[in-house]
Amino acid sequence: MILINIISLFLLNYLKKSSGAVEYPAVLNKYFKYGMIAAGILIGLGASDLPPQILYELLSFVLVGAIIYLILYTPELENQKTLAITPLPIVGVKLLEYLIETISPSIYDTLENYLDAASIFALIWAVTMWLNHRKQMKEIEIERIFLKEQERQLKATAQQKSELEMLVAERTSEILKQKEELQEALNHLQSTQEQLIQQEKLASLGQLTAGIAHEIKNPLNFVNNFSELSVDFLEEIGEEVRKMSDSPEKENIIELLQDVKSNLVKIRHHGSRADSIVRSMLMHSRGGTGTMDPTDLNALIREYANLAFHGMRANPNPINVEIQLELAENLPEIRLNAEDFSRVILNLVKNSFDAMRDKINELGDQYKAALKIKTKESKNQIVIEVEDNGPGVPDEIKDKLLMPFFTTKRGTEGTGLGLSITHDIIKSHEGKLDIESKVGEFTRFRITLPKVRVEKS
């Protein structure tokens, strides 16, 4: 009977150890533990020869039967099913032996040899089945490991895939952003290029005019000097002629001398006009000679706006203008070439006066001329705005406004250099000049200056 219990022990021990690969529920492990204790007790009782041995033997069969039942009907032990049939023949033979011996010992004696033979066959069966089972188990285990590996790989692939997808999405948005940035940079480049071309045109024109100006200056000086001299001489001649006795010839001579003198005065007048143009042209091409010093911009604006106003009032065709100054308080001092920059203010203000004069001539008293000068401070920049409510600038001439010799003023009034020089001076301060206008309503010149400039050595 010990054999049956040993089989029980062996089965339970094997099942317990096989739980390494597949985790069994705790209750199953408890069954294994109690089963092994029961088998141990039955072995002990069997060896002790204590009665009633028959009961112990019966219990041994019940135990092994229960174990086989457990193996066959527990889902977790599905893989171990072949294990259940391994000890079956032995248990069957032993059960038969036990039953025969219990019921009729005499039949047992006659059948003993057959039963022994059956036992040996059962043992061989058991060993074969056992080996078979082991082999099967190994295959199952290998397959299980293989499956597990495959699953792991699948999982890894899935994770990699999602990571890649995220990366792709990230890169796509990055590329889109870069594309937008590039587009913006391209637009910026294109507008800068246009500006550069414009500036290049102006620069070459500037050089040309400077050269011409210099060549014209010398002959012009002769024209002016000789005409001036001739006027002086004519006055002397007039004095001498007046000393002569009166005669119709004398009257005629004096009359003619008057005409020649007035002609010479005209030559002198137009000569000096040409001279002022030439001088403006030279000033235009020549770099600023003054130095950049910290300047109170508001004070400069106040002074030169006032100067321009009184200059305008003192000259022919004065107009009534309301001037509003909206100057930002506590404006920091800014490095300026004050001499040059005062020309900017003078030019812009004078320009506005001239424009508004045209509108007054057109509309009469119903129009009230107003000039607004503002200064504003932002983080890195200072903005100056000169705004008039004059006739405005049509779009088609807005681009030409800064070109040298472009003028809207009639006849001999403008040289067409004022705004061009203004623009040059602002550029030399690394600033920007923008023009906004609405025809019939306003014109606004906006100067933007950087607060801090990289000083050129």
Complex with another protein: residue 85 or 210, whichever CB lies closer: 210
Q: Which two tokens stand for residue 318?
A: 């004065």
Complex with another protein: residue 149 or 339, whichever CB lies closer: 339
Q: Work out how close the CB of 451 gets to another protein at its nearest, in angstroms, rounded to a whole number.
A: 29
Q: What's the farthest any 2 CA atoms get from each other in the chain?
A: 199
Q: Which two tokens stand for residue 384?
A: 């100056």
Complex with another protein: residue 106 or 218, whichever CB lies closer: 218
Q: Which residues pair with 385 in a beta bridge?
A: 374, 446
CB-CB contact of 123 with 33 (8 Å)? no
Q: Work out how close the CB of 270 gets to another protein at its nearest, in angstroms, rounded to a whole number.
A: 15
Position 124: which residue type? I
Complex with another protein: residue 218 or 457, whichever CB lies closer: 218
Contact residues for another protein (CB under 8 A)?
A: 214, 217-218, 221-222, 224-226, 229, 233, 275, 286, 289
Residues 6 or more apart whose CB falls under 8 angstroms from that of 235 comprise 261
Angle at 308 between CA 306 and CA 309, to 5 degrees: 65
Complex with another protein: residue 275 or 296, whichever CB lies closer: 275
Q: Work out how close the CB of 221 gets to another protein at its nearest, in angstroms, rounded to a whole number.
A: 4
Q: Which residues pair with 372 in a beta bridge?
A: 324, 387
Q: Work out how close the CB of 235 gets to another protein at its nearest, in angstroms, rounded to a whole number.
A: 13
223 three-state secondary structure: helix
273 three-state secondary structure: helix
Q: Which two tokens stand for residue 44?
A: 């002990």
Cis link prior to 75 (omega < 30° from 0)? no
CB-CB contact of 334 with 382 (8 Å)? yes
Complex with another protein: residue 121 or 222, whichever CB lies closer: 222
CA dist., res. 305 & res. 250, Å (int): 54
Residues 6 or more apart whose CB falls under 8 angstroms from that of 376 comprise 328, 382, 383, 385
Q: What's the distance, Cα to Cα, between the start and end of the chain in Å?
A: 114
Q: Work out how close the CB of 421 gets to another protein at its nearest, in angstroms, rounded to a whole number.
A: 18
Complex with another protein: residue 252 or 276, whichever CB lies closer: 276
Q: Which two tokens stand for residue 232?
A: 């002086």
CB-CB contact of 391 with 355 (8 Å)? yes
CA dist., res. 366 & res. 236, Å (int): 53
Q: Work out how close the CB of 220 gets to another protein at its nearest, in angstroms, rounded to a whole number.
A: 8
* Size of the chain in residues: 457
Q: Work out how close the CB of 340 gets to another protein at its nearest, in angstroms, rounded to a whole number.
A: 15
Q: Work out how close the CB of 275 gets to another protein at its nearest, in angstroms, rounded to a whole number.
A: 7
Complex with another protein: residue 210 or 241, whichever CB lies closer: 210
From 375, 395, 393, select the one nearest 385 (Cα to Cα): 375
CA dist., res. 312 & res. 411, Å (int): 19
* 290 alpha carbon, distance to own chain's centre: 42
Q: Work out how close the CB of 254 gets to another protein at its nearest, in angstroms, rounded to a whole number.
A: 22
Complex with another protein: residue 270 or 350, whichever CB lies closer: 270
H or E segment to which residue 25 belongs: none
Residues 6 or more apart whose CB falls under 8 angstroms from that of 183 comprise none
Complex with another protein: residue 81 or 269, whichever CB lies closer: 269
Q: Work out how close the CB of 207 gets to another protein at its nearest, in angstroms, rounded to a whole number.
A: 16
Q: Work out how close the CB of 263 gets to another protein at its nearest, in angstroms, rounded to a whole number.
A: 18
Complex with another protein: residue 289 or 457, whichever CB lies closer: 289
